Amino acid sequence: MSPRRLVPLAFAVLLAACDARLPEPETSGARLYAARCGGCHRLYAPGSLTTAMWQVTVARMQGEMARRGLAPLTADEEATLLAYLDRHSTGRDTP
């Protein structure tokens, strides 16, 4: 497939991943994700990224929150969020 055809496809996948219904919406992980992440930007479907990609994204956003003067996630919040995202990611990454 040519790169020109991949761009619209990638955009469509990205749009579909935004503001998707969260799996297990009543769990602490889903509520934390909605509250802390959805307060600043659209939520991405947890299944839109792999576990490793979520780990990188959460770490990057921790830095972004600090840069903006927002309270970063506590260690417990980060663990809860990453566990939730891992359970619903596109799959575990293999080493």
The arithmetic mean of pLDDT across residues 42-71, rounded, is 96
Distance CA 34, CA 70 (A): 16
Domain boundaries, the chain: 3-87
Q: Which of 4-18, 27-41, 80-94 has the highest mean pLDDT?
A: 27-41
Q: pLDDT tens across 12-49, in order? A: 444 444 445 899 999 999 999 999 999 899 999 999 99
For residue 70, what are the CA distances in angstroms to 7, 11, 25, 42, 59?
33, 30, 24, 17, 14
The model's pTM is 0.74
Q: Is the pLDDT of residue 80 over 50?
A: yes
* pLDDT tier, 91 (very low <50, low <70, confident <90, very high otherwise): confident
